[in-house]
Amino acid sequence: DGGITQSPKYLFRKEGQNVTLSCEQNLNHDAMYWYRQDPGQGLRLIYYSQIVNDFQKGDIAEGYSVSREKKESFPLTVTSAQKNPTAFYLCAITPLTGPGDYGYTFGSGTRLTVV
Amino acid sequence: AQSVAQPEDQVNVAEGNPLTVKCTYSVSGNPYLFWYVQYPNRGLQFLLKYITGDNLVKGSYGFEAEFNKSQTSFHLKKPSALVSDSALYFCAVRALNSGNTPLVFGKGTRLSVIA
């Protein structure tokens, strides 16, 4: 997972609490993505950003918020409005310019558990 | 709309036997196709991709995939399975001229290689 760092690895949230997951990259990639992974449901897109100070909702954005104040950082906040936040959260990055299409580089993930 | 189907939740194969993990896709126009592998509590790792050119794509760890446009399939294959290949495999797609829209992932197929 070189070049992209997710922290913390494990996170516990109490009912009604907001928590923030960190995603940092040093590869100078343009685009950053947040996915949620649940058993049997694959990866579902929460938010993504292709440029600083701009981001787009994915398929399951409700109860989540993001910011992109710096190119290297794309934090995800899980708000109290997210009723079932227990999941594995994955951050991914990709460049958007160059000679060909690129796949994503993924972080090692954050496992969030509601206690 | 783009979509990916991985029809098998689980594939079991004996060590040394060939393996196939199936993927079919739906996009408007030509596709970019990817395979990723995930080990427990880790992020996804890139295996291989198809953009243009030869229909048989070779990737990491001895894996290959065959692009079949008429059947809209991109099945992952390996001639001789290893126990260490046991993991969760994801197929992903996006359209060639989709303006950098995010990848769409399948639900994943769990591969179990039995010694």
pLDDT in tens, chain B (115 residues): 889 999 999 999 999 999 999 999 999 888 999 999 999 888 999 999 998 888 999 999 999 999 999 999 999 999 999 999 999 999 999 887 776 789 999 999 999 999 9
Instruction: Count each helix (H run) and each strand (E run) in chain B, helices first.
Output: 0, 12
Q: Hey, what are A105's tokens?
A: 């580089």
* CA-to-CA separations, B56 to A115, B29, B48, B104, in angstroms, rounded: 48, 20, 11, 22
Q: What is the pLDDT of residues A40-77, one digit of tens each?
A: 888 999 999 999 999 999 999 999 999 999 999 999 99
Kindly list the residues from chain A whose CB atom is less than 8 angstroms away from the CB atom of residue B51: 100-101
3-state helix, strand, coil in chain A (%, to 5): 0, 50, 50
- When CB atoms are compared, the residue of B36, B42, B103 closest to A109 is B42
Cα–Cα dist A50/A63, whole Å: 21
Residue from A21, A104, A111 whose CB has the most chain B CBs within 10 Å, to mutate: A104
Phi-psi group of A82: left, alpha or beta (phi > 0 → left; psi -120 to 50 → alpha; rest → beta): beta
Nearest CA in chain B to A48: B102
Cα–Cα dist B74/A81, whole Å: 39
